[in-house]
Copies of this chain bind each other. A is one copy, B any other.
């Protein structure tokens, strides 16, 4: 009898899919890939967006230097090879979060178009939304902010291969969201992103 009773509670629908999790959470998963110069405001927008999404009951999770560079990518340096592997791993982690139903907010300079395009392909091949958010900001404005004092060090030659100084930043050709952080308010930026999430049916209208 115990055996029979137990059998009744079996889960019969096979593996849980993205659709099951979207139903549970009330929204779809997606990756928002923030890219832009150091000091352009990527993390500022991502933090604000995460707060707004949480208020709306949407599960979002930020991937940034704090939890990635110190964790899964702590055995990577800053050679060209390691930078590419850094972005590849972040892309794979973001994809797992999308599969789990969450909105992954990836916030890294990610200066090379080829690396970003590889992550885009990973997502699109799996039928997942990849939304490239270009946090566009004039170099002078980013350098004037210099929140971590990194431009100063790069100008002094203490940091080599610094994006925008002695290493290129390859701007996205056709990002899904193009922000201008040197002339938009934070709220305008967040609203612009939310509008795209609604248009795509990722979050409720």
Q: Which of B51, B71, B85, B95 contacts A13 (CB 8 A)?
A: B51
| Neighbouring B residues of A21 by C-beta, 8 Å | 54, 59, 61
Does A113 make an interface contact (CB < 8 A)? Answer: no
A97 within 8 A of B: yes
Contact B9 A187 (CB under 8 A): yes
Residues on B with beta carbons closer than 8 Å to the beta carbon of A158:
none
CA distance A24 to B27 in the complex (A): 13
Whether the pair B100, A97 counts as a contact (CB closer than 8 A) is yes
Q: How far is the CA of A100 from the CA of B187 in the complex (A)?
A: 24
Within the complex, which residue of B3, B85, B187 is in contact with A6, where a contact is CB–CB below 8 Å? Answer: B187
Instruction: Report if A24-B71 is in contact (Cβ < 8 Å); known contacts: A9-B52, A54-B16.
Output: no
Provide the residues of chain B in CB contact with A50, threshold 8 Å.
Answer: 11, 15-16
- Are A63 and B96 CB-contacts (below 8 A) given A3-B185, A16-B50, A72-B89? yes
Q: Does A199 contact B (CB under 8 A)?
A: no
CB proximity to B under 8 Å, residues A51-94: 51-52, 54-55, 57, 59-63, 67, 71-72, 75, 85, 89, 92-93
- Write the residues of chain A forming the contact surface with B, with a CB cutoff of 8 angstroms: 3, 6-7, 9-11, 13, 15-16, 20-21, 24-25, 47-48, 50-52, 54-55, 57, 59-63, 67, 71-72, 75, 85, 89, 92-93, 95-97, 99-102, 185-188, 190-191
* 7 A-B pairs with least C-beta separation: A11-B51, A6-B187, A72-B92, A61-B100, A71-B92, A16-B50, A16-B54
